[in-house]
Chains A and B, each alone.
Chain A
């Protein structure tokens, strides 16, 4: 893709997160240390409830950890106020979720253009057209989410995540609700994006998807077992 995108490294030190519920305090993440650099496609696997989503949220500057520091090339998003942190997300981070999370009253094109409302660094029209084209959504651009198939929904969500060319993409089980073929397409796009110099972090249950990455993170009960 293009090379104007900032090329970042991510550093997480001693990230811990606990949730308290009626049944007691659950330590979801336990002193996670992580260092990623551009073109890393990290796939994360682990049993359900081991803390994959939580880790992605924290690394994605969506949820503050209890302990630990997070740094993107010298910027610590959790040291920013909420507004600046949102701004930081809008320029640097993209998200893809298992259940798409499209805005129901916006059509495909509008959904894709959504992050552009906050990020004014350029006119995103051409970029969105390019994404609609490359993700095979051309004849769906004016449709609304409830008129789309799961695959189309997820490709729309992916295009939305890619619009502002963030330096890092977090994908939480993006293929979980897709059939084999559609899942494959999403994985291909993510791979291409990582190969172009971004960091991609993807949590997945799927063995095949897990193998797509060039780094593999195995988690269990809030800890990193292996990072290969």
Chain B
């Protein structure tokens, strides 16, 4: 009877532990899986963004600080100038964010010979960035040699100018070395010449009004800010604007997607964590309740035996069992009962737990020293304690009193 009681309560405790351990294990599994999914998705996204950004770079214009940007938007270029040495200065610095530097002098002029407005741009081949040495990137734009001219579509198409023709422009003769197809932009009325020639034609010797920096690379979100900072340190007195680009817009959109994705996934992970925390609280509570119930049950069963016990104590007392002997007898019986019940339950659960809940749960329960202690010692201790009270009470009383009160 007592053995069964101990057995059943130990078993129910083990079963509840197993069920819990199992469900917690599946929570953690799920969480782990979700976490790794999350990490993978984020890194996938980052990779695809990096791929699409790779080699794209973006372009900026560097203007003199006093340049009114409104003027640039209005006429496509600024009147303000800055010294041409700025480019050298920039090229000789250890600038990492800019790949190609193209100084230029731009002005809208009248092609007197043809009564035509022309955007005249003086370009100087690319200025190599000093510290990159041989490793510098391949030049993006071919320079225009002195005495040569490159014409936009309107300029050569309208006046039927062919490649290799010698034309007169602002009183000088130039050889047409390239004619561009129609681009549908201001490029179509643009003429490119060597920078030094334009400086002479416009009487702006040693001056430029802008530097185009191409293929700027910067992976940070605030790339313009970073570049402004870097260039600003080398060339104080300049202002920097970003040149519009489709690649940039795409990258920007990607960045946005990435950010929202990350945020969503973080939220998801957070809510999952909260769920698991609340579930584990419930689980812990459940174990506590089961533990309390098990303890309570053992205690109840033992105490409800007190009536029987008293008679037994009375009889044994009448037969001459003295105080300590009596207590010892009762306690050892309770201990035996506790041990037997525990052994029964452990044996059963050793067989049953691996079958119903698997090795993992089995290990969780039985390879844990504190659990093992609870499972083996507590029921026996409880049974002893519960027996102790009637034993001591009985040992202190006259046997007759006990025998009579039955």
Contact = CB atoms under 8 A, between A and B. Distances in A.
Interface of A: 53, 57, 60, 62-64, 82-84, 86-91, 93, 95, 97, 99, 101-105, 114-115, 117-119, 160
Contacts, number: 71
B320 interface: yes
B312 A103 contact: yes
Majority DSSP secondary structure for residues of B touching A: helix
Contacts of A95: 318-319
A63 B398 contact: yes
Contacts of B319: 89-90, 95, 114-115, 118, 160
B322 A83 contact: yes
Interface in B326-361: 329, 333
Given A82-B323, A86-B321, A118-B325, A62 B316 contact: no
A99 B325 CA distance: 25
10 contacts: A57-B400, A86-B317, A86-B320, A86-B322, A90-B321, A101-B314, A101-B318, A103-B315, A103-B316, A119-B320
B323 A86 contact: yes
B318 A104 contact: no
Nearest to A102: B315
B28 interface: no
Interface in B362-406: 398-401, 403-404, 406
B316 A114 contact: yes
A93 B320 CA distance: 9
Contacts of B315: 101-103, 114
Given A86-B317, A86-B321, 13 more contacts: A57-B400, A57-B403, A60-B318, A60-B400, A82-B322, A86-B323, A87-B322, A101-B311, A101-B314, A103-B315, A114-B315, A115-B320, A118-B322
A105 B324 CA distance: 21
Closest 7 CB pairs of A and B: A90-B320, A63-B400, A86-B322, A57-B400, A62-B400, A83-B322, A89-B320
A115 to B, nearest CB: 4
Contacts of B205: none
A104 B404 contact: no
A118 B320 CA distance: 7
Contact of A91 (B320, B399, B400, B401): B320
Contacts of B400: 57, 60, 62-63
B308 interface: yes
Contacts of B311: 101
Interface residues of B, number: 24
A93 to B, nearest CB: 8
A62 B404 CA distance: 11
A166 to B, nearest CB: 10
A101 B406 CA distance: 10
Contact of A89 (B318, B324, B333, B403): B318
Interface string B303-314: 000001001101
Contact of A63 (B312, B325, B329, B401): B401
Contacts of B399: 62-63
Interface of B: 308, 311-312, 314-325, 329, 333, 398-401, 403-404, 406
A52 to B, nearest CB: 12
B403 A101 contact: yes
Contacts of A118: 319-322, 325
A88 B308 CA distance: 25
A88 B317 CA distance: 11
B217 to A, nearest CB: 89
Contacts of A114: 315-316, 319
B322 A62 contact: no
A26 to B, nearest CB: 14
A11 to B, nearest CB: 20
A93 B329 CA distance: 21
Contacts of A104: 308, 312
Most chain B CB atoms below 10 A, which of A57, A62, A93: A62
Contacts of A89: 318-320
Nearest to B320: A90
Most chain A CB atoms below 10 A, which of B315, B316, B317, B404: B315
Contacts of B318: 60, 62, 89, 95, 101
B310 to A, nearest CB: 11
B341 to A, nearest CB: 14
A18 B360 CA distance: 68
Contacts of A62: 317-318, 398-400, 403
A128 B221 CA distance: 99
A118 B323 CA distance: 12
Contacts of B320: 86-91, 93, 115, 118-119
Contacts of A88: 320
Contacts of B406: 99
A115 B404 CA distance: 20
Contacts of A119: 320
Contacts of B317: 62, 86
Contacts of A84: 322
Nearest to A97: B403
A83 B320 CA distance: 8
Nearest to A115: B319
A18 to B, nearest CB: 14
Contacts of A87: 320, 322
A9 B404 CA distance: 27
Nearest to B308: A104
A117 B333 CA distance: 15
Contact of A53 (B312, B316, B329, B404): B404
Contacts of A83: 322-324
